[in-house]
Amino acid sequence: MFDTDTIVGRHGGLGTAGGRIVDRHGQPFVLSGMSLFWSQWMPQFYCAGTVRWLREDWGCNAVRAALAVNFGGYRQDPEAEWRKVTAVVDAAIAEGIYVLVDWHVHEMEIISAATFFDRLSRAYGDVPNLIYEIWNEPYPRYGWSAHIKPYCAEIIPIIRANAPRSLIVAGTPTYSQRPDLAAGDPLGFDNVAYAVHFYAASHRGAFRDYCTAALDRRLPLLASEYGTCESNGDGRFDPVETEAWWRFLRRHHIGHFNWSVADKLETAAALLPGASPDGHWPAQTLTPSGRLVRAYLRSLAGQGALDIADSRAQVGGQ
Query: Among the options 81, 95, 133, 137, which is catalytic?
Result: 137
Query: Among the options 81, 95, 109, 225, which is catalytic?
Result: 225
107 catalytic per annotation? no
For the cut 90, the answer to whether the pLDDT of residue 224 exceeds it is yes
Q: Is 62 exposed, middle or buried (0-12, 13-18, 19+ CB in 10 A)?
A: buried
263-275 pLDDT, tens digit per residue, is 999 999 999 999 9
Average pLDDT over every residue of 5-33: 97
79 catalytic per annotation? no
For the 8-316 domain, the top CATH level (class) is: alpha beta
**Domain ranges, ordered by start, for the chain:** 8-316
177-220 pLDDT, tens digit per residue, is 999 999 999 999 999 999 999 999 999 999 999 999 999 999 99
The model carries a pTM of 0.95
CB 119 within 8 A of CB 89: no
Q: Residue 239 carries which side chain, given as an amino acid letter?
A: P
The mean of the pLDDT values for the chain is 95
What own/partner pairs with CB < 8 Å and gap ≥ 24 does 72-76 have? Answer: 72/40, 73/38, 73/39, 73/40, 73/104, 74/112, 74/116, 75/109, 75/112
For the cut 70, the answer to whether the pLDDT of residue 132 exceeds it is yes
